[in-house]
Amino acid sequence: MSNSINIRNMIEGSRKKSKLAMFEKTIPYLLFFAAFLSVLTTIGIMVTLTVESILFFRNVSFREFFLQPELKPLNPSDPKFSILPLLGGTLLSSIIAMMVAIPIGLTTAVYLSEYATERVRRILKPLVEVLAGIPTIVYGFFAFTFVTPVLRELIPALDRTNILSPGIVMGIMIIPIVASLSEDAMSSVPNSIREGAMALGATKFEVAFRVVIPAAISGIIASFVLGISRAIGETMIVTIASGSNKNLTFDVTQSMQTMTAYIVEVTSGDAASGTTAYYSLYAVAMTLFVFTLLMNLFARYMTKKFREVY
């Protein structure tokens, strides 16, 4: 009787092992599919944007799109298509955002990494990261209904919709990206480097800004570039608060339109499907895609160039 039980257990054990072996063989294929899915999605996006952009450039020359200063896509008599006004609004809002996010985010990272106690760090860092979880449409209404009226008290010439207000609010939104990634990079610097600098007579401030930041510069630069990419791709804040002025200007008090806000405007039904104005959104989206891709490649290059391995 005991022999039959042992044989049965051996058979069941061999079946379990065979099932486990079969499962182990399928795991690499499942993991490959998961990895390939993201690549396939990127390829699909590129193909869609490229095909639709070709339809646009059949009617509009590259010279007109990239060099002329006027954008009047819905003008019935003489429509004009140019990326320059949208590119100017996108870059200006992103520059304003980074002027807010970089100093505040970097100083926050320095405090969390070099000055805060472990207990304070555990409390403060999640609170800072909460800003990243707020929906962007909430930021947009905050910029339009609160920040803009406050700024108009200080700058009477400020338009009701302008590029300054959403730029500031976008900077607030991406502070957690800069602060969190920079703090992670600074925390990865070995304590022996800090101790060595302090043993030579350096103050805590000097250690932070002359030793730790240079040692973590690759991660800090990556956080800056990631923040810029996030600002360039932001949609709802600029759609609500920056207006739809398509003139090429660098006056931050005026209404301007970014590339993402233009895409929202066209897809909302202002341009009929199949028209040149409709296909222009794909040309703008393709430009935005290439611009963001170049920013990410630059971030990878800077990270590898200045990376320190300890």
| Per-residue tens of pLDDT for the chain, all 310 residues | 455 555 555 555 555 566 666 777 787 888 888 888 888 888 888 888 888 888 888 888 888 888 888 888 877 777 888 888 898 889 999 999 999 999 999 999 999 888 888 888 888 888 888 887 888 889 999 999 999 999 998 888 888 888 999 999 999 999 998 998 888 888 888 888 888 888 888 888 888 888 888 888 888 888 888 888 888 888 888 888 888 888 888 888 888 888 988 888 888 766 777 788 888 888 999 998 888 888 888 877 777 776 666 5
Which helix (H) or strand (E) segment is 298 a member of? helix 276-306
What's the CA dihedral at 253, 256, 260, 263 to 10 degrees?
160
How far is CA 110 from each of CA 125, 190, 191, 255, rounded to the nearest angstrom? 12, 15, 14, 36
Cβ within 8 Å of residue 136, ≥6 positions away: 173, 234, 235, 236, 237
Do residues 220 and 185 make contact, with C-beta atoms less than 8 angstroms apart?
yes
Q: How far apart are CA 168 and CA 144, in angstroms?
A: 11
Tracing tokens 């298509």 back to the chain, one arrives at 81
Query: Taking CA 26 as the corner, what is the angle to CA 22 and CA 32, rounded to the nearest 5 degrees?
Result: 165
65, with CB counted inside 10 A (0-12, 13-18, 19+), is buried
Q: How far apart are CA 101 and CA 167, in angstroms?
A: 10
User: Which amino acid is located at 169 in the chain?
Assistant: V
Query: b/e string for 190-220 if b means 16 or more Cβ within 10 A?
Result: eeeebeebeeeeeeeeebbeebbbebbbbbb
* pLDDT at residue 15, as a whole number: 56
Tracing tokens 């990376």 back to the chain, one arrives at 307
Cβ within 8 Å of residue 45, ≥6 positions away: 289
* pLDDT at residue 126, as a whole number: 83
User: Which amino acid is located at 38 in the chain?
Assistant: S
* pLDDT at residue 206, as a whole number: 85
Sign of the CA dihedral with 112 first, then 117, 121, and 124 last: negative
The architecture of the domain spanning 84-306 is: Orthogonal Bundle (1.10)
* pLDDT at residue 268, as a whole number: 76
Tracing tokens 């895609």 back to the chain, one arrives at 289
For residue 236, give both structure tokens: 């709802």
Domain boundaries along the sequence of the chain: 2-58, 84-306
- Rounded to a whole number, what is the distance in angstroms from the first to the last CA of the chain? 63
pTM of this prediction? 0.83
Q: How far apart are CA 79 and CA 284, in angstroms?
A: 16
Nearest to 300 by CA among 215, 234, 188, 225: 225
Q: DSSP letter at 221?
A: H
Do residues 105 and 182 make contact, with C-beta atoms less than 8 angstroms apart?
yes
Q: How far apart are CA 273 and CA 266, in angstroms?
A: 10
* pLDDT at residue 168, as a whole number: 93
For residue 224, give both structure tokens: 């800056």
* pLDDT at residue 100, as a whole number: 93
